[in-house]
A and B are shown apart, each in its own frame.
Chain A
Amino acid sequence: MKIAVLSLMACGACARNLEEACHETGHEIVWSSLDGDTGKPDADVLFIDGAVDFTDHETLEKLQETASAVGTVVSLGSCAATGGFERHVIGMRDPDRYHFTVFPAAKFTDTDYAITGCPPTTDAIAAFLRALDERDEEALRPYKVLSGDYHALKPDLPAPVTGPELPVEDVLLTSNKDLCLGCDLDVIEKDLFCVGCGTCSTACPAMAIVMDEKPVIRQERCIRCGTCFASCPRSFKTTRG
């Protein structure tokens, strides 16, 4: 597969891990904004790395132009998928003039898949590339589910869901400090879906989850990347709301 990378508001870890994964799996990066490539990429898959400031019209145009040229578009990492760390920085305090306007890239262009994580590990990206290469629909399903509206997901179980169902931007603008904005772990835990397996704690890139039979979130370290939700073995028994 020929791969393109568009880096927006990001620290660069996702793009770096993608490069490492491509080297490992033998895929070629033919176009990268980090290396100065512009225009429409001639590629099979576009990975978008980072969030977008919607007042930055130049970047928005670049995003839409680039995404429209490629058949498969993937949000790479939590900033692209949910706004993640870039957007979360407004979550616990009054927004400053920059972050108030930051949204996940997926809000401005159709995406086919999302790989959450801050950053997604090289192994996780390599596994996705293999699944995509083989068109393994079952393996690709979680990535497809996550590319939609994260907060419109409902667990496919008979018990009622009492967690946040607001669109991401509405939740963030209320600055409700009690809600877990990115990962939906509260939804899983509150409704007794959690079996206390600890997968979320192991997966958390910020060591923000400790286990006390059930996961306890150390809010001071949580970056709202959604890795816990994506890794939870119960969260993917879901349908769109």
Chain B
Amino acid sequence: MEIKTVRIPTGTPGDIHAVMEVSDGVIVNAEVCSSTTPLAWETLVLEKHPEFAIVAAERVCAGCDASAGLAVAEAIENALEVQVPDAATEAREALNAANTVRSHATSLLKSDLDLDADALYTVIKAAKKVLHALGRKPDHPPAITPGGLELETIPTAKVENAAKEALETAEKIKDDTTSAVDDLKDEIQAEMNVETYGEPGYKADLTPDDVEIVPPDEFYRMKSALELANNHVALVDGNPTLVGPQARKNLTDHPLDAYTAKAEEIVESLEKIAETAENLDPNADVKTDVEYTSGEGHAAVEAPEGTLLVTIKLRNDRVDEALMVTPSNVKAAVAGRVLKDLEEEHAPTVIKALGLSGRCLTH
């Protein structure tokens, strides 16, 4: 039996390490952790204005930036019992869907699959147009604010056209991805016997009571690798649980099905954006005035890489306490199980498919 600590390049910011017990080239036990310096979102937002908590959350990791901002905004609204206009909720759903398209297409570009880069950049451009239109910028969309969105009008035609124009390309990406994943699955024999959490759509009903946050496994300390582990892991209902596109699409036969699920979600998200834009009144009210008082609220959003839970406690216009549970916090708990019984050489490909980001994991 040999113990190995391997850095796994995932194409995402931060470091991901797999600490593995390997016997005859097969992984018999493994944990996944990150050495990335924490941004420490929970502490850096303390005593700051709630709007800063949104701006800061969007800068944890670019992969799920808009979704993180939306989750914080909704937690603030729940804490203050603010009712957001229906049109704002619809527009936010489209914004989240655009974030999913961009994130998934970028992930497919970084994957070990041989896919058409031009096609992927075509859908990325479409997603950026939607993010720009609804979020006022294509990155870290600043229009997200407590009470709705900072928009004078909703540019529905621009959003609808951008989504529709990319749909044909997205269908091609889906077919290409399915085929490429099938080919790669022939090379990599793997199974996933894991619990899942996640529903198609925008909001999730995960609550802080459902989640247990635990320090890195004793395994790290036993192997003197604790200095690598700047992260915690989260269990859902006491179990390591898979979140993200695979869980939402219920495609959990093989870890590489994550890519198939992502390609499917790109198509569905573009359809959702087009449908939402078609039904939205461009002049609808998308912002409610917010009066900052005290309160505690939580919100869960289906971010591109999985369910993202935020709890926030406000004291007047300041953040008193905050907690963020990211998709990588939850997926790290399950990653070790997915690696078990896998041939060691395939570990990087499988971990990359799970969509972990070191920055997300330590936030």
Contact = CB atoms under 8 A, between A and B. Distances in A.
Interface in A60-105: 85-86, 89, 92-93, 96, 98-99, 102
B140 A13 contact: yes
Contact of A53 (B37, B49, B55, B137): B37
A17 B48 contact: no
B213 interface: no
A194 interface: no
B38 interface: yes
Interface stretch (B7-15, B77-85, B270-278, B308-316): B7-15
Contacts of A19: 109
A118 interface: yes
A233 interface: no
B13 A221 contact: no
Contacts of A98: 37-38, 40
A172 B47 CA distance: 18
A147 interface: no
Interface string A17-44: 1011001100000000011100000000
A56 B140 CA distance: 27
A207 B52 contact: no
B146 to A, nearest CB: 11
Interface string A138-164: 000000000000000000000000000
A50 B12 CA distance: 13
B143 A12 contact: no
A207 B143 contact: yes
B9 A36 contact: yes
A121 interface: yes
A9 interface: yes
Interface stretch (B57-65, B174-182, B187-195, B255-263): B57-65
A23 B49 CA distance: 39
Contacts of B106: 16
A208 B12 CA distance: 28
Given A13-B65, A220-B49, A221-B52, A205 B13 contact: no
B44 A99 contact: yes
A13 to B, nearest CB: 4
A46 interface: no
Contacts of B62: 11-13, 16, 119
Contacts of A93: 44, 46-48
Nearest to B9: A36
Given A13-B62, A89-B56, A220-B51, A36 B13 contact: no
Most buried by B among A23, A24, A50: A23
A206 B142 contact: yes
Contact of B13 (A10, A53, A118): A10
A48 interface: no
Contacts of A11: 13, 59-62, 65, 359
Given A12-B63, A20-B124, A221-B52, A7 B140 contact: no
B283 interface: no
A121 B43 CA distance: 29
A99 B55 contact: no
B138 interface: yes
Contacts of B11: 34-35
B110 interface: yes
Most buried by B among A15, A36, A86: A36
B117 interface: yes
A12 to B, nearest CB: 4
Interface in A101-142: 102, 118-119, 121-122
A89 B12 contact: no
A34 B62 CA distance: 13
Nearest to A17: B139
B172 interface: no
Given A34-B11, A118-B140, A220-B48, A89 B39 contact: yes
A114 B106 CA distance: 25
A3 interface: no
A223 interface: yes
Most buried by B among A11, A96, A119: A11
B61 to A, nearest CB: 5
Contacts of B43: 96
5 contacts: A12-B61, A35-B11, A89-B40, A204-B142, A207-B143
Given A12-B359, A221-B51, 15 more contacts: A12-B13, A12-B62, A24-B121, A53-B37, A56-B37, A89-B56, A119-B139, A204-B142, A205-B139, A206-B142, A207-B142, A220-B48, A220-B51, A221-B55, A221-B142
The 7 tightest CB contacts between A and B, nearest first, are A36-B9, A220-B49, A12-B13, A13-B62, A207-B142, A12-B62, A89-B44
